[in-house]
């Protein structure tokens, strides 16, 4: 399907001539089935909390979507708490107040990764002095020594470890099962930002021992403005941040946004099939396209380096640096050539300043100038070979000029 068709609005028109969209980690195009689900729900009158026929019909639609999100996350439907997005879900989870088996647990200490998304890295409802940022190695993997030092410093007190399962800028995936193993014998809750994992790699909270996870619908073809806090065990959960009228079983107050939730459910059902390979291909073809793209990039400029190349990464993500490249400048150049990609994450790429992700990896041994930034390319399950060819054609000219300007231009 051509990009012009994928981005076509209800009127059959698009705002510009054909463009190549390679920024799925920022947001994925809304899927046709999702648009249909949203429009259908907009035509329904009832409030899911009402007991009359219209309310029961709305509640049935809400429950159907909850079942689909639960299937994607591998939990019971009772473990799905709908929120306004991943940021709210993270703010709810990063709380010093938790219930465990019906009893309150007070958590004073929080550890996050120095490469985490700002909604995790900021510590949310924890006091600043109680937040520890753990370093990473040159590939963006958490330093085991940093985790061990934090655990030792806990001295048996309850703690909470929250981290991005897959980094939005580099695609680097943390080994959650190994991390949970390191937590054995310690009273530590484990929270995972699974926003970039959903639909791309399996989300297995039970096998990884993850107590809570965060999801966002628009990262895999759902509508913006809807997300979820996922609980592995409904008896282990943070205190509600929004109480209101007791919706979501008292875990998040406020009337549920039924149209957005219906779209979330439709996207979750499709994403679960893609992640499992039930659709016949999964993301294997996307990874092959990503690998061919990286091979072409490295051939264009030997000084170019792929972030996280030595680690497990999402099948759709490539981020790279070049000693003569200012990422923001190159991003604009690609945009002018009809190609959409990012210089860092969408939540921070519009702001002036170096990427904190790249800076943390440089501190861990990655060789680059953090001030120059990194360029990120993120594909979707419907990205086509022709779009990669278009990118490579444009990149050959733009990156070729960088290679000529590099200190190693003779090698290039």
**Short-list 337, 292, 343, CA closest to 322:** 343
SS3 115: coil
The partner residues of 161 in beta bridges, in order of sequence, read 111, 190
CA distance 400 to 406: 10
Instruction: Answer for the pair 157, 109: CB distance below 8 angstroms, yes or no.
Output: yes
Residue 381 carries which DSSP code?
Answer: T
CA torsion through residues 327, 332, 337, 342, sign: positive
- Residue 31 near residue 270 (C-beta atoms within 8 A): yes
Per the CB < 8 A criterion, the answer to whether 230 and 193 are in contact is no
Q: What is the crossing angle of helices 385-405 and 284-300, to 10°? A: 20
Give the separation between CA 267 and CA 250, rounded to whole angstroms.
25
Those residues whose C-beta lies under 8 Å from the C-beta of residue 178, and which sit 6 or more positions away, are: none
Give the catalytic positions in this structure: 347
Angle between helices 327-336 and 385-405 (to 10 degrees): 130
- What whole-number distance in Å separates Cα of residue 358 and Cα of residue 400? 23
**Are 162 and 312 contacting, i.e. CB atoms less than 8 angstroms apart?**
no
């Amino acid at each position: 399907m051509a990009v012009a068709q994928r981005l076509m609005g209800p009127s059959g028109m698009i705002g510009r001539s054909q463009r190549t969209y390679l920024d799925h980690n920022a947001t994925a195009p809304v899927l046709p089935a999702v648009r249909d689900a949203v429009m259908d729900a907009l035509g329904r009158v009832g409030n899911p909390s009402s007991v009359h026929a219209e309310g029961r019909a709305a509640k049935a639609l809400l429950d159907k979507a909850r079942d689909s999100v639960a299937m994607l996350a591998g939990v019971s439907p009772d473990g799905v708490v709908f929120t306004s997005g991943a940021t709210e879900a993270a703010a709810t989870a990063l709380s010093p107040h938790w219930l465990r088996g019906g009893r309150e647990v007070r958590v004073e200490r929080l550890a996050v990764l120095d490469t985490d998304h700002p909604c995790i890295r900021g510590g949310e409802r924890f006091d600043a002095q109680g937040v520890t940022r753990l370093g990473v190695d040159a590939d963006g993997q958490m330093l085991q020594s940093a985790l061990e030092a934090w655990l030792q410093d806990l001295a048996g007190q309850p703690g909470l470890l929250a981290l991005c399962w897959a980094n939005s800028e580099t695609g680097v995936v943390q080994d959650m099962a190994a991390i949970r193993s390191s937590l054995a014998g310690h009273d530590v809750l484990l929270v995972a930002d699974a926003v970039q994992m959903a639909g791309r790699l399996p989300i297995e909270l039970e096998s990884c021992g993850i107590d809570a996870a965060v999801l966002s619908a628009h990262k895999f073809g759902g509508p913006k403005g809807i997300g979820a806090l996922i609980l592995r065990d409904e008896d282990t959960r943070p205190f509600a941040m929004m109480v209101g009228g007791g919706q979501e079983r008292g875990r998040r107050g406020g009337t549920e946004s039924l149209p957005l939730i219906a779209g979330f459910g439709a996207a979750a059902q499709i994403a679960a099939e893609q992640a499992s390979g039930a659709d016949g291909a999964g993301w294997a073809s996307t990874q092959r396209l990503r690998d061919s793209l990286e091979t072409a990039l490295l051939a264009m400029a030997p000084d170019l380096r792929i972030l996280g190349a030595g680690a497990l990464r999402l099948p759709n993500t490539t981020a790279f640096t070049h000693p003569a490249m200012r990422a923001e400048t190159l991003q604009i150049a690609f945009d002018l050539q009809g190609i959409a990609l990012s210089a860092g994450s969408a939540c921070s790429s519009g702001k002036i300043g170096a990427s904190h992700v790249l800076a943390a990896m440089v501190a861990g041994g990655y060789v680059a100038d953090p001030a120059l930034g990194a360029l990120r390319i993120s594909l979707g399950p419907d990205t086509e070979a022709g779009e990669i060819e278009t990118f490579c054609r444009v990149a050959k000219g733009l990156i070729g000029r960088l290679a000529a300007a590099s200190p190693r231009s003779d090698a290039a």
